[in-house]
Amino acid sequence: MTRQIEDEDVRLLASIAGTLQADYAEDDLRWAGSPFAWIITRPSRTIGAIGEKLVAGWSAAKGLDVVRAPNSDCDRVINGRRVEIKFSRLWKTDLYKFQQLRDQEYDYAVCLGISPFDAHCWVLSKKLIMEQWGQHDGLPHQHGGAAGSDTVWLSVKPDSIQPWLGPCGGRLRQAFELIKSW
């Protein structure tokens, strides 16, 4: 049995929502049938936690030693190295945005990106992150003003990456080889 909306204002709001749906349907269709589609429906804080669990589970399944982080400066310890994990879905503009990179106590950042039917991964050393910190074609500040200098983000178009990012992976297999070599 279909429920009916009784309140006139709620019906009006539902009608407006129906007209807006077409603006967002294209993105939904991109993810239709994807094994990752359920992830993008979760709140952003939950999505970050899912990304951490995906990297930890993938690393462990590939035979790497994975343990919980000793404090909040990193997310996991993988093969003895402190790792910050960043996660992104492929945006409508065909790029990943790995957000909220900070200058904390970690050795590497693992940036895992999922698209509807593919995944990409880059492994950045803390040294490289600091070299690229605040650089327009590297890791620009995420927020403006003096207060915004504590976080940077990485924007990556997987089919057209920045030259400095090339040695950091791209495909999962490449990222695994980098992690394994620590």
Residue in the structure block whose two tokens are 């909040």: 72
With b meaning 16 or more CB within 10 Å and e meaning fewer, what string describes 33-62?
Answer: eeebeebbeeeeeebbebbbebbbebbeee
Per-residue pLDDT at 173: 96
Angstrom distance (rounded) from CA 163 to CA 112: 18
Angstrom distance (rounded) from CA 75 to CA 68: 7
Per-residue pLDDT at 114: 97
CB 116 within 8 A of CB 90: yes
**Is the predicted pLDDT of residue 61 greater than 90, yes or no?**
yes
Angstrom distance (rounded) from CA 70 to CA 56: 15
DSSP assignment letter at 139: B
Q: Which residue has the higher pLDDT, 39 or 3?
A: 39
pLDDT digits 0-9 by tens, 42-55: 998 899 999 999 99
pLDDT digits 0-9 by tens, 8-22: 888 888 888 888 777
Structure tokens that stand for 95 in this block: 């790029």
CB 77 within 8 A of CB 66: yes
Which residues on adjacent β-strands are paired with residue 86? 111
Per-residue pLDDT at 24: 65
- In terms of average pLDDT, the best of 4-13, 14-23, 86-95 is 86-95
- CA–CA distance from 95 to each of 28, 39, 79, 179 (Å)? 16, 17, 29, 23
pTM for the model stands at 0.86
One-letter amino acid identity for 103? D
Q: Average pLDDT over the chain, rounded to whole?
A: 91
% the chain with pLDDT above 90: 71
Per-residue pLDDT at 71: 95
Per-residue pLDDT at 2: 77
Angstrom distance (rounded) from CA 81 to CA 107: 6
Per-residue pLDDT at 16: 86
CB 105 within 8 A of CB 82: yes
% the chain with pLDDT above 70: 93
**Is the predicted pLDDT of residue 163 greater than 90, yes or no?**
yes
Per-residue pLDDT at 26: 63
Structural domains present in the chain? 43-180 (3.40.1350.10)
Which residues on adjacent β-strands are paired with residue 111? 86, 122
Q: How many CB atoms lie within 10 A of CB 171?
A: 14
pLDDT digits 0-9 by tens, 96-150: 999 999 999 999 999 999 999 999 999 999 999 999 998 888 898 886 655 567 8
